Chains A and B, each alone.
Chain A
Amino acid sequence: MIEGVTVRQAGPDDAVAGVQPKWVALPESVEEIAAVMRACAERDLAVVPVGGGTKLHWGRRPDRCDVLLDLCCLNEVVEHAAGDLVVRVQAGATMEALAATLAAKGQELALDVPLEGATVGGTLATATAGPRSFRYGTPRDLLIGVTVVLADGTVARSGGKVVKNVAGYDLGKLFTGSYGTLGVIAEATFRLHPLPADRRWVSTSLPAAVIGDSSSELPLSPVPLLRALAASQAEPSAITLDWPDMQAPFTVCALVEGAAAAERAEELRAVLAEEGGRLGGGEWPTKPVAGAEAPDGWARLPGDELLIEIRTLATWADMVMTAVRDAAHVTELPAKARMWLADHLVTHVALPGDAGPAAVAAFVSSLRAAVDSGEPRATVRILAAPEEAARRVDRWGPVGGLSLMRRVKEQFDPGRRMSPGRFVGGI
């Protein structure tokens, strides 16, 4: 079909959220991506780019998908300039392979990878991050240059390979989190950090029964504890709250990294003991402990078949916990929740993949009614859900600036051939 580019017939395993493409194209260079895109433009074929496929079931089902553009063959670490703390890497490289290359020189891309097997391109396209964004930011904050291929085959770069650079518009930020709807991310350049000399996790379990219980005499909120951790001059890199069972205790955990991590961890343990003791009323399912091992499931999602993300202000943790528990109660769905704190409080709620559409709709509306209250905004979105389960809800909720987003889409992809329909407002 396209000269020099490997293309095969697609099978059922290649389906994108239930839509089976006709072909799978396997370009091996940026030029080959461009050739595929030009060929698709001539034939009016819709394209969905894919990396590790770990999040291919995220977002809405595409309106159409003729060609799955598999970036697995563009997986090279092109240039690791260790002295400059910068790496240029092709989109199909896995985050794991990239980390191994960087670690050999004592460096890292300071991003958590919530799903094993994720690639650089997929991480960018979905803007996935984890608890360490408290200190390092999200993919858009670490991306300093990008090469993209547009729907018509145009290859464009923005940024570069220096961290400090304000020349021109930052297309990298625009493409980060665009779910493949603006074009193909082909290559990325990131700023790096030295691998921390040491790491310590400090955690404690607390009883959840009192959260939001107005009849309790105990303090009702984990917020002062989270605030105290965030304000600590021991400077944690991450602060999380893990609540795998609504009937059981939850765990608050903070990570410290770098020089003198052990001493700083002691400071945080004292914070946990003081604030946590107040919250638990002396009841400690697990007293505060510090250790050099990550707790189970650290930086991972609580599940990803049916996954909801809630973003609120940092101080809304109690409100979100109550909202999740109430939604679980009303719908009788077993929910697992994990939160991490950054500029916002980001909460992921996993539900069973076979939950019925009525229950899912009820769960999401219950959450939205509880937290989505105008200014300052809080948002509830469904990241992943089988099409059937999500058919009765608006996956993304209301979006500020949607008309501008439509105009951006119209400029970049006037033919609506890039992952059509997968993103907000059916973009």
Chain B
Amino acid sequence: MTLAALTPRLRELLEPDAVITDPVRLRTYECDGLTYHRATPGVVVLPETAEQIAAIVRLCNEHGTPFVARGSGTGLSGGALPRTDGVLVVTSRMRRILEIDIPNRRAVVEPGVTNLAITEAVRAQGYYYAPDPSSQQVCSIGGNVAENSGGAHCLKYGFTVNHVQACEIVTPDGEIVRLDRVDAGYDLLGAFVGSEGTLGIATKITVRLSRTPESVITVLAAYDSIEEGGKAVSAIIGAGIVPAAIEMMDALAIEAAEAAVACRYPDNAGAVLIVELDGPRAEVDRQFAQLKEICSGAFELRVAADAIERAAIWRGRKSAFAAVGRISPAYIVQDGVVPRTSLPQVLASIDRLSAEHGIRVANVFHAGDGNLHPLVLFDDAEPGAGERAEIVSGAILDLCIEHGGSITGEHGVGVDKSRYMPKMFSDDDLDTMQLVRCAFDPRGLSNPGKVFPTPRLCGEVPGVRRGVHPLVEAGKAEQF
């Protein structure tokens, strides 16, 4: 059945202004943060309750129509790329913080609430929500759940999945189910978080609130080269320190940040390292003394004296992605992970790739956990440059896989990287993962085409087939 038949039914369910079919308005939803994948959604709905989402999903089931959930649309892997033949379920009207429970260190929120709004709501009471993706001012918690978002501080504090205690979800067949870590049974919540919208839509999320640390020390160390900065990182880890964050930028990334936000990092630095320590004052002071010793090889060491200076140090790092726009007409933001100890080799290989293809690469990375964000720069006006940039960008992912890493540390697979999944995982791995998909979404209606390159047919049981295949039996196929 077509969307034309579905749309009037959607209008019956929702407020008149909550069903969008106007082509101009539809187009504002055609992509997420990964703008080179675009598709105009068939219809956009703006539900306000879980019951409405459940009803929408049941309608989609009735009509066999695919649906895609979208929060703020800041994702960087095309995870919220709409379907032209489907319904885009936008959670932006579900923005209530339903409960703040300080004694139990938890908050219950709707999926459209922004990441930072949670922290803002509890900051005065000495708490915060730990995962802090760079887009935290705008990105929604529902999107964070779908992508299992990280952030600069996940080295010490973990990812979204480590901070979500329960989710109410609408399953792909339109049932409202509560997945709660207090319950016995399979950890379906653990499987749901990070499933990129393919296992249903989160409608209510219970998160852990963390105590604001007593002391925070942020240090910026400037080195002549990436290698020297890398050695300092190894020494920090080797000393048994787990900083809240360890970030590194190379000369090109520094140049871009300087051009964009005048971050005033030390001149002529081959690399800057940002290290943040947090925790009890006595502990942080001890670690800081160790850290100064370790970073004695830096040609300049700055220590933020207060929150304003801390923000100044972070400004360059946090602006890095957008900043490369100042030094390059176009760029690709890559996200890959390598074991931390492989960083020097991998960075050297990226250098070689860059030289070989005549494509500049600016490196920004979470050095503590080996999460690289190479920014592959090119001029889209130059014939063939885009293709060469694509080659370099893809080769970086191959490097990550070769070194036993991952094709994505925090941006997700989405549509962008599904073709790399078979390089990282075997067919059996992917088939087994898709058993979960088949359990939740046997009809494949929830965000189809994402994560997995080839959907699995859910009726079939893998492995040894007993007896004759039903299609063979029915005379519709032959077996050779």
Q: Does A174 contact B (CB under 8 A)?
A: yes
* Across-interface contacts of B186 in A (CB, < 8 A): 174, 177-178, 182, 401, 405, 408, 424
**The one of B184, B431, B440 that contacts A404, using a Cβ cutoff of 8 Å:** B440
Q: List 28 A-B contacts (CB under 8 A).
A: A83-B341, A84-B341, A85-B237, A85-B340, A154-B428, A154-B432, A156-B428, A160-B424, A161-B404, A162-B405, A162-B406, A166-B150, A166-B406, A168-B430, A169-B437, A170-B190, A176-B187, A194-B242, A235-B280, A260-B282, A260-B286, A313-B104, A344-B182, A377-B183, A379-B184, A400-B177, A401-B177, A401-B186
> For the complex, is B299 an interface residue (Cβ under 8 Å from A)?
no
Q: Which of A38, A404, A410 has the most CB of B within 10 A?
A: A404
Is A260 in contact with B184, judged by CB distance below 8 angstroms?
no
In the complex, residue of chain A having the shortest beta-carbon distance to the beta carbon of B417:
A167
Q: Is B213 an interface residue (CB 8 A)?
A: yes
Q: Which residue of A lies closest to B234 (CB)?
A: A83
Residues of A in contact, count (CB < 8 Å): 86
Kindly state whether residue B464 has any CB partner on chain A within 8 Å.
yes
Please determine whether B105 and A314 come into contact, CB atoms closer than 8 angstroms: yes
Contact in complex: A227, B451 (CB < 8 Å): no
Question: Is the CB of B463 closer than 8 A to any CB of chain A?
Answer: yes
A411-B187 in contact given A160-B405, A233-B211, A315-B104 (Cβ < 8 Å)? no
Enumerate chain A residues within 8 angstroms of B194, measured Cβ to Cβ: 166, 169-170
Q: Give the complex CA separation of A379 and B180 in angstroms.
A: 11
Task: For A182, give the chain B residue with the smallest CB separation.
Answer: B186
Cα-based distance from A286 to B451 in the complex (angstroms): 57
From B184, B431, B440, residue with most partner A Cβ within 10 Å: B184
B240 with A106: CB separation less than 8 A: yes
Given A83-B340, A162-B409, A234-B280; A401-B185 close (CB under 8 Å): yes
A195 contacts which chain B residues (CB < 8 A)? 240
Measured CB to CB, the closest approach of chain A to B220, in angstroms, equals: 22
A64 to B121, alpha carbons, bound, how many Å? 53
Shortest Cβ distance from residue B379 to the other chain A in the assembled complex, whole angstroms: 31
Digit string of B27-45 for contact with A (CB within 8 Å is 1, else 0)? 0000000000000000000
CB distance from B360 to the nearest CB of A (A): 25
CB distance from B418 to the nearest CB of A (A): 10
Residue pair B435, A314 in contact (C-beta under 8 Å): no
Interface residues of B (CB under 8 A from A): 101, 103-106, 126, 147-148, 150, 154, 158-159, 161-162, 165, 171, 177-188, 190-191, 193-195, 208, 211, 213-214, 234, 237-238, 240-242, 279-283, 285-287, 337-341, 366, 369-371, 404-413, 417, 421, 424-426, 428-433, 435-440, 451, 458, 461-464
Ordered nearest first, which 3 A-B pairs have the shortest CB separation?
A: A173-B190, A194-B240, A260-B282
Chain A residues within CB distance 8 Å of chain B: 38, 41-42, 81, 83-86, 106, 127, 137, 140-141, 148, 150, 152-158, 160-171, 173-174, 176-178, 182, 193-195, 197, 223, 227, 230-231, 233-235, 258-260, 263-264, 267, 311-315, 343-344, 376-379, 381, 396-397, 399-402, 404-405, 407-408, 410-412, 414, 423-425
Contact indicator A193/B242 (Cβ below 8 Å): yes
Q: Are B463 and A166 in contact (CB under 8 A)?
A: no
| Interface contact B183-A411, CB-CB below 8 Å | no
B450 to chain A, nearest CB (A): 11
CB of A141 within 8 A of CB of B178, answer no
By beta carbon, the residue of chain A nearest B339 is A84
A412–chain B nearest beta-carbon distance, Å: 6
Q: Is B181 a contact partner of A264 (Cβ separation < 8 A)?
A: no
Q: Chain A residues with Cβ under 8 A from B279's Cβ?
A: 235, 258
Contact A258 B283 (CB under 8 A): yes
Q: Contacts A152-B462, A344-B182, A408-B186 known; A137 to B242 CB distance under 8 Å? A: no
Contacts A160-B404, A235-B279, A396-B184 known; A168 to B425 CB distance under 8 Å? yes
| Residues in B whose Cβ lies below 8 Å from that of A157 | 425-426, 429
B464 surroundings in chain A (CB, below 8 A):
38, 41-42, 152
| Contact between A167 and B424, CB atoms less than 8 A apart | yes
- The residues of A that contact B462 with a CB separation of less than 8 Å are 152, 154
Residues of A within 8 Å of B432, CB to CB, are: 148, 150, 154, 156, 158, 171
- Interface residue from A84, A154, A158, A402 paired with B185 (Cβ < 8 Å): A402
Closest-CB distance, A237 to chain B (whole angstroms): 12
Q: Which residues of A contact B409 (CB under 8 A)?
A: 162, 164-166
Which A-chain residue is minimally distant from B187 (CB atoms)? A173
**B177 close to A233 (CB less than 8 A):** no
A173: B residues at CB distance < 8 A: 161, 187, 190-191
Nearest residue (CB) in A for B183 is A400
The residues of A that contact B105 with a CB separation of less than 8 Å are: 230, 314, 343
> How many whole Å from B311's CB to the nearest CB in chain A?
22
